[in-house]
Structure 1
Amino acid sequence: MKQVNIGGVPEHFNLAWYLSLKKGEYKNENINLRWHDYYGGTGEMCKALRDKQIDIAVILTEGIVTDIINGNPCKIVQTFVQTPLIWGIHVAHNSPYKTIEDLRGKKAAISRYGSGSHLMAFINAKNNNWNLENDLNFEVIKNLNGAIEGLTNQKADYFLWEKFTTKPLVDNETFRRIGNCPSPWPCFVIAARNEFIESNKKELQTILNIINNTTTAFKDIPRIDKTIANRYQQKLEDVKEWLSLTQWSQELIDKKTLNYVQNQLLALNIIPEMVDYKRLTHKL
């Protein structure tokens, strides 16, 4: 049986992987798919891909594009979630900041440099016409628990993270959300190490076929909203809203979209250059 290591964030977006693993669908195809949770998000997964700790990652589009251009020997093999990620802009509940403009020049908590929380802080700054050199400051906090500590103890002033994941922390008055910042592109893609793609095309295609069958019918799974609410400590009404806003994909991200992502990243000085579509993607 072929062992394959895959990583992703332990959030509701990836429940489809858990369900297909629980049903033993990969083992039925002689693949021992081992899921690894990455609480540190995109930056931590990029490192794991580089270090060959995982073969595949379900990862934020902007994060893996940036890391591939910076030398990570990987390629995007499919879009996973077609819709944008809605990033909530959070402050500590007792923070004096009330508006996004109040955060100009303040310190953003980020999981690590190159992470989604880091890159989206630039997108938010650009959206609000801030000076990208003078109005952005960062404090590395590693993960969501680090953000709770960092904002509560005033090591940092604000934090961007997926709106529905942090909603329980807003409800219990740990955080206060003062705005949203949707990613201007499909949020999650599936990326794999080049070496793994070359030597395991059949297994990779099988894995994609299984997860695509699951995501195609995901919203039709009986009581899926209640399953998500219970598993991720979410309110049922929030889960229903999230499901209504979220669309999975079974296709490879297109050239036009990736060029748009690169254009935005280049404008923000996050990447040094734009690269060819084929350097970023592999079509099975």
Structure 2
Amino acid sequence: MFSPVCYLREQDIIPDTMAPLRVGFVPEHFSTPIHFAQKYYGLDAQLIPFPSGTGHMITALRAGEIDIGIGLTEGWVAALGRTEEGDGGYRLVGTYVETPLCWAISTGAKRPEITSVDSLNGSKIGVSRIGSGSYVMGYVLADQQNWLLPTAAAGTTAESASPYSDFVVLNTFAKLREAVNSGEADFFMWEHFTSKRYYDSGEIRRIGEIYTPWSSWKIVASTALVSEDGSLDARVEDLMEKLNQGIKHFNENHEEAVEYISTALDYSAEDAKEWLKTVRFPERTQGVDLEVVNKTVSLLRKAGVLFNGKGMQPDAMVAKQR
């Protein structure tokens, strides 16, 4: 029997280099310029939300499920710094937020035994994933509080030198809140304004805060989009130009930003207005300041998350410098 052959026209074949990028992002207030870039400036990308954060995006990048990630500096750097084999899956290519991030330190609403940050030494810390920002910042907090064991600087693993009795992996913000109320975890850290409404409702209790000692958000690209000479796929360059336009729109239209954050996202208008006073996006997202990466690596080594002579070095993490 004759079997017809289906011939594709040339215009029906879309090469991979022409396909829209799959962009991972955290669906929080910080994503507002991304929304504006797509709504007003023709950002041609498949936006994929990762409410559980940077650690989940790292897994997705390495699995080839997304092409771009927009997430927290410490998560990106820590994962590359612990890469002993392979190419790490991605490189730092852009800067998304210039200001530090305020991590709120939270416990359960009815945990009277937890009175302050000082009482957290040796406790159970809830994290979204191992390697995520919430995990890495646990060590930064321990460093600031002088809880780190002397062995942390001697080449042992971060886990064996941990000032905490356990890292409880909970994946989502909702499960983190549940865990500190049930006793499964004693505390966790999450961005201040995302946590605030749950303080206001009485679901969780704030016991402190900690700021990142570096600019808080970076853009990374899959190594498949980075040439050996460091040049980027044209779609990545176009993405960052569109983000620049989205940021400009954000800066010039704060009332629209507040309306979007307070209706499409999980924040009050009052909190959105307060957040606007604290955040600064770059005029140009292209490139990463190598000194920021050096500073991040240096502190993570001091905290026992990374170790001298092991893993990827800072200059190798950055494909596009400022």
Quickly name the TM-score band, shorter chain normalised: over 0.9
Residue 174 of structure 1 corresponds to 203
Question: Is residue 135 of structure 1 aligned with residue 160 of structure 2?
Answer: no
Bigger CA drift: 101-110 or 133-142?
Answer: 133-142
Amino acid at match of 1:252: G
Residue 269 of structure 1 corresponds to 304
Bigger CA drift: 40-49 or 129-138?
Answer: 129-138
Question: Is residue 78 of structure 1 aligned with residue 94 of structure 2?
Answer: yes
Question: Is residue 146 of structure 1 aligned with residue 183 of structure 2?
Answer: no
Residue 41 of structure 1 corresponds to 53
Give the gaps of 5 or more residues in structure 1.
none
Matches of residues 104-119 of structure 1 in structure 2 within 5 Å?
104-119=121-136
Alpha-carbon contact 2:142-2:303 (below 8 Å) kept: no
Question: Is residue 193 of structure 1 aligned with residue 207 of structure 2?
Answer: no
Alpha-carbon contact 2:68-2:219 (below 8 Å) kept: yes
SS of 1:215's equivalent in the other structure is helix
Alpha-carbon contact 2:139-2:304 (below 8 Å) kept: no
Question: Is residue 120 of structure 1 aligned with residue 132 of structure 2?
Answer: no
Q: CA deviation at 1:223?
A: 3.0
Distance 2:256 2:41 in 1: 21
Alpha-carbon contact 1:7-1:57 (below 8 Å) kept: yes
Matches of residues 56-67 of structure 1 in structure 2 within 5 Å?
56-67=68-79
Match of 2:295 among 238, 246, 260: 260
Distance 1:196 1:228 in 2: 32
Residue 207 of structure 1 corresponds to 239
Distance 1:207 1:172 in 2: 38
Tell me the alpha carbon deviations over residues 116-138 of structure 1, each in whole angstroms, 9 at most, x when there is no partner.
11110111111111135353131
Mark the CA change 1:106 to 1:35 in structure 2 (over 3 Å): closer, same or farther.
same
Alpha-carbon contact 2:25-2:70 (below 8 Å) kept: yes
Q: CA deviation at 1:172?
A: 0.7
State which structure, 1 or 2, has the greater radius of gyration over its C-alpha atoms.
2
Match of 2:315 among 274, 278, 282: 278
Amino acid at match of 2:245: N
Amino acid at match of 1:86: C
Bigger CA drift: 263-272 or 218-227?
Answer: 218-227
Q: CA deviation at 1:23?
A: 3.4
Instruction: Give the aligned length.
Output: 279
Alpha-carbon contact 2:36-2:250 (below 8 Å) kept: no
RMSD: 1.8
| TM-score normalised according to structure 2 size | 0.82
| TM-score normalised according to structure 1 size | 0.92
Distance 1:64 1:200 in 2: 18
Mark the CA change 1:200 to 1:253 in structure 2 (over 3 Å): closer, same or farther.
closer
Q: CA deviation at 1:277?
A: 4.0
Q: CA deviation at 1:237?
A: 2.4
Mark the CA change 1:24 to 1:147 in structure 2 (over 3 Å): closer, same or farther.
same
Tell me the alpha carbon deviations over residues 21-72 of structure 1, each in whole angstroms, 9 at most, x when there is no partner.
233603xxxx4x1011112211111000000100000011111112123332
Residue 87 of structure 1 corresponds to 103
Percent identical among aligned pairs is 29
Distance 1:24 1:247 in 2: 20
Residue 153 of structure 2 corresponds to none
Alpha-carbon contact 2:97-2:218 (below 8 Å) kept: yes
Q: CA deviation at 1:276?
A: 4.2
SS of 1:185's equivalent in the other structure is coil
SS of 2:319's equivalent in the other structure is coil
Q: CA deviation at 1:273?
A: 3.4
